[in-house]
Amino acid sequence: MGTGKNGSFDIVPDLSQWSIILFFNKAEFPDQEIQHLSKALLGNFILRWLKLFNTKNKFLLLEPYAGHGSWDGNSFVQNRKSEMTVEGRIGVLTRASIRLNRLTAFWKAVPATSKDMHKNDGFIYSIGIGEIPLIKQATFSIWESEAQMKTYAYKMSAHQEVIKRTRAERWYSEEMFLRFKIIKTNPEFTP
């Protein structure tokens, strides 16, 4: 998938970085070493392609523990609130298919919420990704703790306003929110 500039989705793509997200059953891939997992999941063709262009690769092994919604009709966790307490850093994936008649309102709201996220205590890293430019967008972010992520998500005024508007104005035809435990990253990934 393509990525946006400045750690968020953007109308102008960042052609210097790309994203691959794989959901898999960990029982089928018990080896949790990043090097072995990346080869098994990505395959030789993609790994050679990345090597050909001398790319820097950042791998994260994540386990979803809470969330709701779907991505192209697929759900990756049971729709539930987490009863699990996760200590330390977490990852968050927010993804939506934006209704065509709501694109203008959505894109006007992006700069304020993106700016707030980067200023929030506990924010570490984010990347905006999109499978269909302008219409199917996602943000993956890493936070020092779930509590700090929740402060941004539920207490920052710009983000709260967008949440209210998305529901009232029905911006999305599909949405998904997932929280992840960060199991492992490769050494090159040091946000």
What single letter denotes the amino acid at residue 165?
Answer: R
Give me the pLDDT at residue 77, please. Answer: 74
Give me the pLDDT at residue 81, please. Answer: 62
* Assigned token pair, 17: 């970085």
Give me the pLDDT at residue 43, please. Answer: 85
Tokens 């919420």 -> residue:
113
From first to last of its 191 residues, the chain has per-residue pLDDT tens of: 878 777 777 777 787 778 888 888 777 877 777 777 778 888 888 888 888 877 777 888 888 888 889 988 888 776 666 667 788 999 999 999 999 999 998 888 877 777 777 778 899 988 888 888 789 988 899 999 999 998 888 877 777 888 888 889 999 999 999 999 998 887 666 65
DSSP 6: G
- Residues pairing with 61 in the sheet: 184
77/123 Cα distance (integer angstroms): 24
96/14 Cα distance (integer angstroms): 20
> Do β-strands 90-98 and 172-185 pair in parallel, antiparallel, or remain unpaired?
antiparallel
At what angle are helices 146-155 and 157-168 packed, to 10 degrees? 60
**Cα radius of gyration rounded to whole Å, the chain:** 17
User: Under CATH, which architecture does the 2-17+63-185 domain have?
Assistant: 2-Layer Sandwich (3.30)
Phi, psi of 68 (to 5 degrees): -160, 165
179/86 Cα distance (integer angstroms): 10
What single letter denotes the amino acid at residue 87?
Answer: E
Beta carbons within 8 Å of 60's beta carbon, 6+ residues apart: 91, 182, 184, 185, 189
Phi, psi of 137 (to 5 degrees): -125, 155
Phi, psi of 8 (to 5 degrees): -145, 175
3-state secondary structure of 9: coil
Beta carbons within 8 Å of 100's beta carbon, 6+ residues apart: 135
Give me the pLDDT at residue 82, please. Answer: 62
